[in-house]
Structure 1
Amino acid sequence: MHKSQRLLRLIMIVNAKKSFTISELAHDVGVSPRTIFRDLLDLSELGVPLYSIQGRGGGYKLLNESVLPPITFTQSEAIAIYFAAQSLKYFGSLPFGDKAESAQDKFYHFLPPDVQDQIDRLKNKVVIWSPNREMSVSCLTTLLQALMIKSVVTIEYKSSVSGKNTRDIQPVGLYSDRGYWYCPAYCFARRGYRLFRADRIITAILNELITWREDVDRKSVFDWQEDEENSQEKIIFCVSLTSNGLKKLEPNGRFRDFIELQEDGTGCIRMHIPINKLEFYTDMIWELGQDAKIVEPLEAIAYMKRTIEGMNRLYS
């Protein structure tokens, strides 16, 4: 058995056993204990989280982080995975800390030379940009951990309306939009679902004293608002778009399914939105400038006019 094959087999064995001795591994793989000892040193250098057990019996143990068994990828899959991971480097902060970068480095290291050459040629030619917005990595990591272990989180939150306050929340998930990380969550103080912007979370601490709610856990980042929005009064929101406005708006998941294309290359949006989210949706149309015009409702048009008047006063 070649060394590379033996190392891959060892990764699968230690991932399954968690704790083991050198003699056990030597027997399983069919090599000498001295060879296994050298292989374990190589695995440690590659980042496999092993540590030795002191005392009677001795041996080795795998840290809490499991090591995934190897997977075979096609050339196209390998390139896609590499650049998907690379796109994360343009975020100001990630809930995974620096683990995404170290995983990318390991992935690249084990790729065949010809695939590495192709990736090297593409590194400065294929980039997936994301706005770089700084926020607390520790808070993001705590929110992610809470989702994994089913724990409520106590946060100190800086609201643009009510200032600083402390909340007990059960995260529904995490998602990123235009560089910002958002955490939809059930707020125990408000007894309802709220959306928290991660850069406004000052501190986040796991709180196991509050019971995790299974009904909240069944929600996802795609449907957490459905019950609330279905119970709210709706209003028609209609916007006409230039061809350039279409291009700008197509990546926005809130509008994508409601875009109607016209034969001349322009388009429009016609959708029902909750009345209390009218200003929120209007602000997103404001970003399109002269490439979008609100047709209805009148309340949105009036809000847009007030915004324009405010900008005129600012620059007059």
Structure 2
Amino acid sequence: MSKAKRLLDILLFASAKKKFTAQEIADEFRISVRTVHRYILDLSDMGLPVYAEQGRNGGYTVLSSKMLPPILFTEEEAVAIFFAFQSLSYYRDLPFDAEISSVAQKLYRSLQVDAKGKVDKVCSYIAFWNPKRTIDTPFLKDTLEAAIENKNIHMHYESKGGTKTKHIRPIGVYAHDGLWYLPAFDYTKQKVLLYRIDRILSIISTEENKDEYMNLEQWFGSYEIKQPVRLHVQLTQEGVRQCKSVPSLEGIVIIHEDGTGYIDSPIDKGEIDFSMPLFYRLGPHARVIEPQELIDGMRKHAEGILMMYQDN
């Protein structure tokens, strides 16, 4: 039997038993105790968290049983994994930053020379690009753990009106445009609100919930229009091109034969403030017909900028 196969068998045996002696492994696999000690050292170098106890009643203890057996990847699969890792490199903070780095190093070391060369080339010629953010998100892992463990959070949050104390029930976290967001049920507002995790100044305390609540996947699929208003916008060719690049709008853009188009679809009233910056940025390429609240908001914004640049 090859050494690699023997190591795999011992790894599975040790992970299942958790506490064992060298003699037990020697008897199980019919090898010498000296060979067992050498194999345990090899497994330890490979990442098996094992603790050796000396003495008459000593032996080995696996500190964590959450170890996966070796997985064989093809060269193309290994390249795909490194490409996925590269897509995460544009985020300053990640919930499992240290673990991702460790996985990448282990996988890269295990590759043959040809496969390493291919990974290096692919990473040099293709990228999953996102804007590189320099904003710290120190409470990213804490908020994710609170969501997974079904805990409420009392926190200090930096909002438009200044620092406020919030009591929330996290649903999950997601990344968008280089930033991390936290949808959560706000106990004061009695509805789900969206928070920027980098704007959390401190977590005061947490508390466990006995009942279950929706998770992030369910929240993404639970969108409903509670206060419908009509969004009607006329678009030039450039307006069509820009709106087709916005995920929330691309499915409702209607295009004419000449390349111009329009949007005529119900949206929730709460989305008006979020859509205003986009249509304001499009300028003459997007003429809003409805709702009136959106028109008024864009006009007020434009008047404020004109006042700022008026001649004295």
**TM-score, normalized by length of structure 2?**
0.83
Structure 2 residue runs of 5 or longer lacking an equivalent are none
Q: Alignment partner for residue 298 of structure 2, among 292, 301, 304?
A: 304
Give the equivalent residue in structure 1 for 2:200: 201
Percent identity between the two aligned chains: 35
* Secondary structure, counterpart of 2:89 in structure 1: helix
* Secondary structure, counterpart of 2:276 in structure 1: helix
Q: Kindly report which structure 2 residues correspond to 1:1-316, keeping only aligned pairs within 5 A, or say none.
A: 1-53=1-53, 57-64=57-64, 66-161=66-161, 163-204=162-203, 207-208=206-207, 210-217=208-215, 220-223=218-221, 226=223, 229-230=224-225, 232-241=226-235, 245=239, 248-250=242-244, 252-288=246-282, 292-316=286-310
Q: CA deviation at 1:193?
A: 1.7
Q: CA deviation at 1:8?
A: 3.7
| Mean Cα deviation higher: 79-88 or 42-51 | 42-51
* Aligned alpha-carbon RMSD (Å): 3.1
Q: 1:166 to 1:75 in 2, by over 3 A?
A: same
Question: Matched residues in 1 for 2:233 and 2:56: separation?
Answer: 74
- AA aligned to 2:115 is V
- AA aligned to 1:45 is D
- AA aligned to 1:256 is E
Question: Matched residues in 1 for 2:165 and 2:308: separation?
Answer: 35
**TM-score, normalized by length of structure 1?**
0.82
Question: Matched residues in 1 for 2:199 and 2:52: separation?
Answer: 42
| 8 Å CA contact 1:239, 1:295 repeated in 2 | yes
| 8 Å CA contact 2:15, 2:65 repeated in 1 | no
* Secondary structure, counterpart of 2:125 in structure 1: coil
Q: CA deviation at 1:222?
A: 0.6
Question: Matched residues in 2 for 1:250 and 1:54: separation?
Answer: 67
| 8 Å CA contact 1:151, 1:212 repeated in 2 | no
Question: Matched residues in 2 for 1:290 and 1:58: separation?
Answer: 79
Question: Matched residues in 1 for 2:155 and 2:175: separation?
Answer: 19
Q: CA deviation at 1:88?
A: 0.8
* Secondary structure, counterpart of 1:124 in structure 2: helix
Structure 1's consecutive aligned runs of 4 or more residues displaced over 6 angstroms after TM superposition are: none
Question: Matched residues in 2 for 1:241 and 1:25: separation?
Answer: 73
| Mean Cα deviation higher: 267-276 or 123-132 | 267-276
* Secondary structure, counterpart of 1:98 in structure 2: helix
* Secondary structure, counterpart of 2:86 in structure 1: helix
* Secondary structure, counterpart of 1:215 in structure 2: coil
| 8 Å CA contact 2:183, 2:192 repeated in 1 | yes
1:190-235 per-residue CA deviation (whole Å, 9 max, x = no partner) reads 3332211101111236623x424313458634135x3xx44x2211
- AA aligned to 2:267 is I
Higher-Rg member (1/2): 2
- AA aligned to 1:223 is G
Question: Matched residues in 2 for 1:167 and 1:23: separation?
Answer: 57
Q: CA deviation at 1:46?
A: 3.3
Q: Matched residue pairs, number? A: 310
Structure 1 residue runs of 5 or longer lacking an equivalent are none
* Secondary structure, counterpart of 1:195 in structure 2: strand
Q: CA deviation at 1:70?
A: 2.9
* Secondary structure, counterpart of 2:94 in structure 1: coil
